[in-house]
C-alpha cells in the first residue's frame, strides 16, 4: 500500500519503541545490549557451521544444537587444558603491577641505555631517569589504578546481570534465538519498509550484513592467528636465547586482541612483551639485543599476518586513514576505557560500511 | 480460551501474513514445480509478502535486479523504452504469473519497469534467499535451479522462434 508518513511511523514502531527505551534507559539496558552484541558476533561466527550441518541433517534446530554442543565440549576441553595456566598468569601479572616493578623497569632501562648510548649521553639519560623517578612513579601509579579499575569495569559491563554463569547462559540463549530466527528478524524489519524503498533496503541490508560478517570473521581469525604466532615466536626466542619471558599466553592474548586496532595494536602487543621481559627476573643479563629480538619476533608475526593470513581470510581492509584510527581509539578510550579503545576501530569500520552501502543504494535506486 | 490464544499469538507470531500465504498460488509458479508440501512450507516462510496500490512501481528500469515477483492478486504491467525512445508495453501479467526471474541468477540492472495496474498482492523471492536455500538445503536449491534453467531455456526458445518468424516476414 502507498503509505502516509503516519502509517510508516506506526509500521516501524516495533523497532522505534525498543530503540527509544534502550537509549532512554541506557544505564540499565547497556549490559544486556552488550550481551546481545556478543551473541550477535557469536551468530556471525557460527552461522556458516550451522548452515553446513543443516545441509546434511535438514533440521535447523538440530544443527544449532549440534554446533553449540560441540563448541561447548571443545571450550571446556581447552579451558581445562590452558585455563589454569592462563588464570595463574593473570593473577601473577596483577601482583606484578606494583611500584617495585617500576623501579625494576627503570634499572633495566639504565642497563640497556648504558649498552646502547655513548657515555656522555648515557649520563644524561641516567640523570633524567633519576630526576623523573618520582614524577614517572606517580604517572605509573595512576596508570595502574586506571587499568585495574577499567578491567573490573569492563567485567562489570559484561556481567552486570547476575553472576558470570548467569550472563553466559543469557548470551547462549540470545545466541540460540539468533541462530534459529535471525532470518525472521530481518524479514519482520523488511516487512515494515514502504514499497518504494523495499528493494533498496533489502539490497543494502544484504550488502551490509555480508561486509560486516566478513569483517568480523576476518578480524577474529587474524587476532587468533596473531595471538598463536606471537606465543610460538616468544617460545622459540626463549629457547634460542635462554632469556625469560613469563606470561607468554597473556602476552599472546593482548597481542591478538590489540591487533583489532590497526597501526597501534601491533605496537601494544610488542611493548607488552618488552615490558614483561624488562621487569621479570632474568638469568641471562638484560641486553638491548634481546629487546631488539622481541621486536623482531613481533615484526615477523605482523609479516605473517599481513602477507599470508590476512590476504587469505579478509576481503580487503576497511581503508581508514591512520589519523582517524588514532582519533577513534582516543575517543573510544575516553568513552569506555580499554574496551572502548579495542572496539572503537571495528565500530568505526562497521559504521563506514553502512554509510558506503547506504550511499550506493540511494544512488543506484535513483533517490540521489 | 480462544481469545487468550489469539492474544498470545499476536505477541509471539511475528509475521502472520507469511504463514497464511496461499501455497496454492506458489504451486502455479513454474520455478517451484515438483516441490513437496514441506518444501512449499519452507519457501512460504522465506518469501516476502507485499501489497501495492495502483500505479506504484514494483521496480524501475536501470535499478539493480534483486529477484522475482509472483502475482497473488491484481495486475502488473511490464513496460520500457524501445531503441527509438518510444514507451512500449512488453506484457500485462495477472494472478499466478511471475516476472523478474533473470534477477535470480544475474546481478544486472532491470531492463523494464514493473508498474501495478490495479491494487495488487505480490510475493517477492530474492537471489539472497535462493543462495541461502542452496547452502542450507541443497536438494531444494537444485530443484529450484533446474526449474529456473527450464523457464529461461523456454523463454530463449520462444525468443528464437519470434526472431525466426520475423526473418521470414
What is the secondary structure of B136-168 as a DSSP string?
H-HHHHHHHHHHHHHHHHHHHHHHHHHHHHHHH
Q: What does the pLDDT look like over A155-202, one tens digit per residue?
A: 555 554 456 778 888 889 999 999 998 888 888 888 888 888 888 888
CA A101 to chain centre: 27
Residue A150 has a pLDDT of 60
Distance from CA of B53 to the nearest CA of A (A): 5
Chain B, window 5-34: residues with a beta carbon less than 8 angstroms from a chain A beta carbon: 14-15, 17-18
Contact between residue B101 and residue B145 where contact means Cβ atoms under 8 Å apart: no
Q: Is A207 helix (H, G, I), strand (E, B) or coil?
A: helix
Residue B147 has a pLDDT of 93
Contact between residue A297 and residue A233 where contact means Cβ atoms under 8 Å apart: yes
Nearest CB partner across the interface for A1, out of B15, B17, B51? B51
Distance from CA of A352 to the nearest CA of B (A): 22
How much is the mean pLDDT over chain A?
A: 80
Is there a contact between B15 and A184 if contact means CB atoms under 8 Å apart?
A: yes
Per-position DSSP letters for A290-347, written without gaps between them: HHHHHHHHHHHHHHHIIIIIHHHH-S------HHHHHHHHHHHHHHHHHHHHHHHHHH
pLDDT value at A315 more than 70: no
pLDDT value at A40 more than 80: yes
Residue B38 has a pLDDT of 87
pLDDT: is A261 or A135 the higher one?
A: A261
Residue A328 has a pLDDT of 82
pLDDT value at B18 more than 50: no
Residue A136 has a pLDDT of 63
Q: How far apart are CA A141 and CA B75, in angstroms?
A: 75
Q: How confident is the model at residue A127 (pLDDT cuts 50, 70, 90)?
A: confident
Residue A319 C-alpha cell reads as: 581503508
Residue A99 has a pLDDT of 59
Only one residue has cell 631517569, namely A129
Residue A229 has a pLDDT of 94
Q: What average pLDDT does the segment B141-166 reach?
A: 90
Is there a contact between B50 and A195 if contact means CB atoms under 8 Å apart?
A: yes
Instruction: Give me the count of residues in chain A.
Output: 368
pLDDT value at B36 more than 50: yes
Q: Kindly list the residues from chain B whose CB atom is less than 8 angstroms away from the CB atom of residue A55.
A: 135-138
Highest mean pLDDT: which of A213-217, B14-18, B40-44, B143-147? B143-147
Q: How confident is the model at residue B146 (pLDDT cuts 50, 70, 90)?
A: very high
Q: Kindly list the residues from chain B whose CB atom is less than 8 angstroms away from the CB atom of residue A196.
A: 56-57
Residue A230 has a pLDDT of 94
Beta partners for residue B64, in sequence order: B109
Is there a contact between B135 and A51 if contact means CB atoms under 8 Å apart?
A: yes
Q: What are the Cα distances from residue B24, in Å, to A116, B29, B40, B73, B95?
A: 84, 9, 9, 12, 12
pTM of the model: 0.73
ipTM of the complex: 0.80
Q: What does the pLDDT look like over A61-98, one tens digit per residue?
A: 999 999 999 999 998 888 888 777 777 777 776 666 66
Contact between residue B64 and residue B19 where contact means Cβ atoms under 8 Å apart: no
pLDDT: is A100 or A210 the higher one?
A: A210
Q: Is B69 left (phi over 0), alpha (psi -120 to 50) or beta?
A: beta
First to last CA, chain A: 23
Residue B169 has a pLDDT of 43
**What percentage of chain A reaches a pLDDT higher than 90?**
14
Any B CB within 8 A of A199 CB: yes
Q: What are the Cα distances from residue A139, in Å, to A99, A109, A135, A144, A333?
A: 11, 17, 7, 9, 17
Nearest CB partner across the interface for B135, out of A55, A199, A202? A55
pLDDT value at B3 more than 70: no
Q: Kindly list the residues from chain B whose CB atom is less than 8 angstroms away from the CB atom of residue A366.
A: 60, 62-63
- Between vectors from CA B124 to CA B121 and to CA B129, what angle results, nearest 5°? 155
Distance from CA of A194 to the nearest CA of B (A): 9
Q: What does the pLDDT look like over A322-349, one tens digit per residue?
A: 788 788 888 887 877 777 777 788 888 8
H/E stretch holding B87 reads strand B87-93
Q: How far apart are CA A201 and CA B64, in angstroms?
A: 12
Q: What does the pLDDT look like over B44-90, one tens digit per residue?
A: 888 898 999 998 999 988 888 889 999 988 999 999 888 787 888 88
Nearest CB partner across the interface for A198, out of B50, B60, B64? B50
Q: How confident is the model at residue A308 (pLDDT cuts 50, 70, 90)?
A: confident
Q: Kindly list the residues from chain A whose CB atom is less than 8 angstroms away from the CB atom of residue B66.
A: 199, 202-203
Instruction: Give me the count of residues in chain B.
Output: 169
Chain B, window 70-129: residues with a beta carbon less than 8 angstroms from a chain A beta carbon: 124, 126, 128
Residue B12 has a pLDDT of 52
Q: Enumerate residues 6+ apart whose C-beta is below 8 A from A10.
A: none
For A201, the closest chain B residue by CA position comes to B66
pLDDT value at B167 more than 60: no
Q: Enumerate residues 6+ apart whose C-beta is below 8 A from A34.
A: A157, A158
Beta partners for residue B120, in sequence order: B52
Any B CB within 8 A of A1 CB: yes
Chain A, window 141-180: residues with a beta carbon less than 8 angstroms from a chain B beta carbon: none
Is there a contact between A199 and B56 if contact means CB atoms under 8 Å apart?
A: no
- How many inter-chain contacts (A to B, CB under 8 Å) are there? 61
Is there a contact between B57 and A196 if contact means CB atoms under 8 Å apart?
A: yes
Q: How confident is the model at residue B19 (pLDDT cuts 50, 70, 90)?
A: very low
Any B CB within 8 A of A124 CB: no
Residue A152 has a pLDDT of 59
Q: Enumerate residues 6+ apart whose C-beta is below 8 A from A177.
A: none
- Closest by alpha carbon to A35, among A168, A195, A197? A168
Contact between residue B20 and residue B13 where contact means Cβ atoms under 8 Å apart: no
pLDDT value at B14 more than 50: no
Q: What does the pLDDT look like over B96-141, one tens digit per residue?
A: 888 988 899 888 888 889 999 888 999 999 998 999 899 989 999 9
H/E stretch holding A202 reads helix A195-241
Is there a contact between B64 and A365 if contact means CB atoms under 8 Å apart?
A: yes
Q: How far apart are CA A38 and CA A170, in angstroms?
A: 10
Any B CB within 8 A of A196 CB: yes
Q: Kindly list the residues from chain B whose CB atom is less than 8 angstroms away from the CB atom of residue A357.
A: none
Nearest CB partner across the interface for A206, out of B15, B60, B128? B128
- Between vectors from CA A368 to CA A366 and to CA A359, what angle results, nearest 5°? 100
Amino acid at each position: 500500500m502507498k503509505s502516509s508518513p503516519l502509517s510508516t511511523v506506526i509500521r516501524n514502531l516495533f523497532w522505534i519503541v525498543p530503540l527509544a527505551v534502550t537509549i532512554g534507559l541506557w544505564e540499565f539496558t547497556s549490559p544486556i545490549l552488550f550481551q546481545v552484541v556478543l551473541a550477535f558476533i557469536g551468530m556471525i561466527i557460527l552461522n556458516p557451521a550451522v548452515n553446513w550441518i543443516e545441509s546434511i541433517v535438514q533440521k535447523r534446530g538440530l544443527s544449532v544444537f549440534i554446533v553449540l554442543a560441540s563448541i561447548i565440549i571443545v571450550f571446556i576441553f581447552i579451558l581445562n587444558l590452558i585455563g589454569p595456566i592462563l588464570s595463574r598468569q593473570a593473577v601473577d601479572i596483577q601482583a606484578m603491577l606494583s611500584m617495585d616493578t617500576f623501579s625494576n623497569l627503570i634499572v633495566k632501562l639504565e642497563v640497556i641505555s648504558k649498552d646502547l648510548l655513548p657515555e656522555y649521553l648515557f649520563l644524561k639519560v641516567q640523570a633524567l631517569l633519576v630526576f623523573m623517578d618520582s614524577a614517572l612513579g606517580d604517572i605509573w601509579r595512576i596508570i595502574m589504578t586506571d587499568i585495574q579499575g577499567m578491567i573490573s569495569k569492563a567485567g562489570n559491563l559484561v556481567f552486570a546481570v547476575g553472576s558470570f554463569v548467569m550472563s553466559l547462559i543469557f548470551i547462549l540463549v540470545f545466541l540460540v534465538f539468533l541462530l534459529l530466527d535471525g532470518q525472521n528478524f530481518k524479514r519482520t524489519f523488511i516487512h515494515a519498509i514502504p514499497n518504494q524503498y523495499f528493494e533498496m533496503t533489502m539490497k543494502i541490508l544484504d550488502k551490509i550484513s555480508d561486509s560486516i560478517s566478513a569483517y568480523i570473521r576476518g578480524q577474529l581469525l587474524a587476532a587468533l592467528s596473531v595471538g598463536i604466532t606471537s606465543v610460538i615466536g616468544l617460545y622459540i626466542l626463549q629457547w634460542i636465547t635462554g632469556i625469560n619471558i613469563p606470561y607468554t599466553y597473556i602476552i599472546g592474548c593482548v597481542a591478538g586482541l590489540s591487533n583489532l586496532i590497526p597501526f597501534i595494536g601491533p605496537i601494544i602487543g610488542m611493548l607488552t612483551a618488552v615490558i614483561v621481559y624488562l621487569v621479570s627476573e632474568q638469568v641471562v643479563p638484560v641486553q638491548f639485543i634481546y629487546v631488539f629480538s622481541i621486536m623482531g619476533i613481533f615484526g615477523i608475526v605482523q609479516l605473517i599476518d599481513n602477507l599470508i593470513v590476512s590476504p587469505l581470510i579478509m576481503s580487503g581492509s576497511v581503508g581508514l586513514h591512520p589519523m582517524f584510527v588514532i582519533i577513534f581509539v582516543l575517543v573510544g578510550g575516553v568513552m569506555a576505557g580499554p574496551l572502548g579503545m579495542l572496539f572503537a576501530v571495528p565500530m568505526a569500520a562497521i559504521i563506514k560500511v553502512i554509510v558506503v552501502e547506504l550511499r550506493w543504494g540511494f544512488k543506484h535506486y535513483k533517490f540521489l | 480460551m480462544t481469545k487468550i490464544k489469539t492474544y498470545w499469538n499476536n505477541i509471539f507470531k511475528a509475521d502472520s501474513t507469511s504463514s497464511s500465504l496461499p501455497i496454492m498460488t506458489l504451486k502455479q509458479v513454474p520455478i517451484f514445480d515438483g516441490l513437496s508440501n514441506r518444501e512449499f512450507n519452507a519457501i512460504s516462510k522465506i518469501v516476502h509478502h507485499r501489497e501495492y496500490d495502483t500505479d506504484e512501481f514494483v521496480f524501475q528500469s536501470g535499478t539493480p535486479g534483486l529477484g522475482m515477483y509472483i502475482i497473488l492478486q491484481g495486475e502488473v504491467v511490464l513496460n520500457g523504452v524501445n531503441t527509438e525512445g518510444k514507451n512500449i508495453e512488453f506484457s500485462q501479467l495477472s494472478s499466478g504469473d511471475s516476472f523478474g526471474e533473470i534477477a535470480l541468477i544475474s546481478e544486472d540492472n532491470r531492463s523494464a519497469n514493473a508498474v501495478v495496474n490495479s491494487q495488487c498482492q505480490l510475493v517477492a523471492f530474492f537471489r539472497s534467499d535462493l543462495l541461502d536455500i542452496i547452502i542450507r538445503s541443497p536438494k531444494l536449491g537444485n530443484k529450484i535451479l533446474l526449474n529456473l534453467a527450464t523457464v529461461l531455456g523456454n523463454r530463449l526458445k520462444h525468443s528464437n522462434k519470434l526472431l525466426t518468424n520475423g526473418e521470414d516476414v
